[in-house]
Amino acid sequence: MVDEAGGRASDIYFGRVAGNGGDWFELVVITDHLDMRHWKFDIYTDGLLDETLDLTGHSIWSDLRSGTIITVSENVPSDISYNPAAGDWWINVQANNESDGLYIEASSFPVNSSNWQLRIRNASGVIVYGPAGEGVSPASGIGSNEVFKLEATPSAATTANSADYDGAKNLSTFGAPNQWGIQNLETLRKIAPGTSSLTLLSPNGMEVLKAGTVHTISWSSTGTIDAVLIEFSIDNGLSWSQVYPANVGNSGSYAWLVPLLDAQQCRIRVSNMANPGVYDISNAAFAVYQCALDGDVTGDCIVDMNDLAQMAAAWLECANPVCP
């Protein structure tokens, strides 16, 4: 994308301005649930490597949906409000020497008409795409007031030397599908929801928990699960009640104050708050018991010599059987 003079090119985002919004380039994700953490963008001018921009390990890059548009810009502030489920398929990240470096390396980069090319590598340094640009396809001819873009719907079959790359145009579409005819990203965006799962780790059966104590309920999850509902049953799963206070988020653990009751057929259920069909239950029943025995000083539900020893120690300490 270039328009050094600002004389011809225009953009649906920037309008008609000198430089057409400054240095920027745009990509489309064609692989669903793509992890681009620590990927690299190699930028070439006149056949020489000019700059490499490294994506960071930020979670915004960890699960990209196919059809996502990514723009890298020197001048436009980062916007990662990205939410495909709500129809927001665009991520913009700012890269220049003064940017914050949260999402991409804080480094300025060139975009010009001097045989500009882009190569994409993954976190292991393996080339994923390119180089693509002037000198590959088209072989030459992109002027300083023209726009280089793909005039086709992107797919896995789109190669760096595709004849659908063209530079003899003057309209760009920052953060949106390319315009020349129709670039339809809906095929990429018609995707099945990602699979997710929950596995309850504890209590998972056969435990004996003392009422009034704190027990850590723990679980593991896969996929996208933002909030986990935790429920407790005392009748082997015939009925359920939400724990109190309610669990918040999906941290993998919850400090549970065991209720004051006696029950032998207890179970815990964890489920996806947004999709209750994703859940797990204790593999077997566990027990909860109360301690209410006179003389049980140690709280182990047994009156034995340990309790008598503690009572004797208390009596000796204050020399009075009624020790305040």
Query: Domain holding 33: CATH number?
Result: 2.60.40
Q: Are 176 and 210 members of one domain?
A: no
Q: Are 176 and 244 members of one domain?
A: no
pLDDT at 306: 78
Residue with the two structure tokens 């994923």: 128
Report which of 258, 203, 254, 267 is spatially closest to residue 227, judged by C-alpha positions. 254
β-bridge mates for residue 298, sequence order: none
165: CB partners within 8 A, 6+ apart: 132, 133, 136, 137, 138, 148, 149, 150, 151
For residues 147 and 132, give the distance between their C-alpha atoms in angstroms, rounded to a whole number. 14
Q: How many residues does the chain have?
A: 324
| Domain assignment present for 276 | yes
Q: Are 155 and 213 members of one domain?
A: no
* Residue 244 belongs to domain with CATH number: 2.60.40.10
Q: Are 155 and 235 members of one domain?
A: no
Q: How many domains does the chain have?
A: 2
Residue with the two structure tokens 């002027």: 143
| Domain assignment present for 310 | no
Cα distances (angstroms) measured from residue 31 to each of 35, 124, 128, 154, 168: 9, 18, 12, 11, 29
pLDDT at 140: 78
For residues 143 and 105, give the distance between their C-alpha atoms in angstroms, rounded to a whole number. 29
Q: Are 156 and 222 members of one domain?
A: no
Find out whether 67 and 184 touch, Cβ atoms under 8 Å.
no
Residue at 222: amino acid letter: T
Q: Are 209 and 146 members of one domain?
A: no
Q: Are 155 and 22 members of one domain?
A: yes
**What residue spans of 181-297 are helical by DSSP H?**
186-189
Read off the tokens for 107.
């480094």
For residues 159 and 130, give the distance between their C-alpha atoms in angstroms, rounded to a whole number. 8
| Domain assignment present for 321 | no
pLDDT at 5: 41
Report which of 93, 88, 77, 76 is spatially closest to residue 39, judged by C-alpha positions. 93
pLDDT at 324: 52
pLDDT mean by block of 10 residues, the chain; 324 residues: 45 46 84 94 93 94 92 91 87 94 94 88 95 83 68 82 68 56 72 79 95 96 92 94 96 96 95 91 94 65 72 66 52
| Domain assignment present for 137 | yes
In the chain, pLDDT over 90 holds for what percent of residues?
Answer: 51
Q: Are 180 and 204 members of one domain?
A: no
Q: Which domain holds residue 69?
A: 10-189
Interior angle at CA 70, CA 131 and CA 5, nearest 5: 70
Burial of 210 (0-12, 13-18, 19+ CB in 10 A): middle
For residues 53 and 35, give the distance between their C-alpha atoms in angstroms, rounded to a whole number. 17
